[in-house]
Amino acid sequence: MHTILVTGGCGYIGIHTIVDLIENGFDVICVDNNARSNPAILKGAEKITGKKIKHYNTDLCNLAAARTLFAENKNISGIIHFAAYKAVGESVEQPLLYYSNNINSLINILQCAAEFNVPHFVFSSSCTVYGNPASIPVTEDTPQQAAESPYGATKQMGERIVTDFVQANTAKAILLRYFNPVGAHPSIQIGEMPVGKPANLVPAITQTAIGKLPAMQVHGNDYPTRDGSCLRDYIHICDIAHAHTLALHYLLQEKCSGNSDIFNLGSGNGYTVLEVIKAFEQVSGIALNYAIGPRRPGDVVAIYANNEKACNKLGWALQYNLTDMMDTAWKWELKIKNNPALFE
């Protein structure tokens, strides 16, 4: 049985990936400084899996603390690195915070991987590495444009750092470029728990519908898209999570032809912000209180994925559609409202 270290494991994608890994026979160690996450989410993962999850409250920007974790767990055979700040708008406002946190934590975890001979590394990247692409859908070979935000730039830099690292070492790496994960686990035991005002679309929708937010703003309706709002590729969180398990199997079975490989993780469909709002209204039966506002700095106009490579090479098959995404996201929001003590 392989032991996998999941950094940022209390985060949205991290916690769903932990569940998927355990359900597929992996042992998991979680590390998260919980600056942008709530460790109470581990309780939900433990209910789903029936397993106690080992968790370290550690800041990976502290190399000595990261080393201690590895020294205490010398059986780690793979790392999935999620730990990073991820809000596009905040990164525009506080670029040094993003460069310092996202890059330093990555360098430290790779130093530990080298020192403790961890052979397999999966990097949490993003479709933001494509910038404003010249054509869509994007494939893994689509030329990258300048990043539209410091967050996107940290992912471009991160991919280069990981690629250079594995070329100089015996480790192998998979770079997974996410599009827009949404929804919650179908058990409704875990889901997205944004700290403070949500920066992503779907929690903004559900928090507005539940009354946490008085209204939400659509950032621009004058883009060259079907209805003028930004177009994105939305994918269910459990489909994203399972791709990480498949990526580890790909590495463990030595299918990686070189030192590293790259996969898009998207649905292959593009939906506008207004189309997502309409899908939510149909699922929930609630008319959402929203207004059209100005464009938001850092936003890409339109992007969605060609996911054929992940489907063909990893054996990835999507299980959920946009209705499932909205349905599970709404049920999760209702659970948070009705059971506040669960997350204290």
For the annotated catalytic residues, the residue numbers are: 151
Sheet harboring 260-265: ordered strands across? 54-56, 27-31, 3-7, 76-81, 120-126, 172-178, 260-265
**DSSP label of 296:** P
Non-local (6+) Cβ contacts of 17 within 8 A are 6, 9, 80, 82, 240, 241, 244, 245
Neighbour tally for 45: CB within 10 Å: 25
Separation CA 250–CA 148 (nearest Å): 31
* DSSP 8-state symbol, 101: I
Q: At 178, which amino acid appears?
A: Y
Dihedrals phi, psi of 115, to nearest 5 degrees: -65, -35
Q: How many other CB atoms are there within 10 angstroms of residue 179's CB atom? A: 25
Q: ∠ CA(12), CA(162), CA(90), 5° rounding? A: 45
Please tell me the distance from the alpha carbon of residue 132 to that of residue 226, in angstroms, as a whole number. Answer: 17
Residue the block writes with tokens 């990526």? 247
List all residues 6 or more positions away from 255 whose beta carbon is below 8 Å from its beta carbon: 313
Instruction: Report whether 197 contacts 36 (CB < 8 A).
Output: no
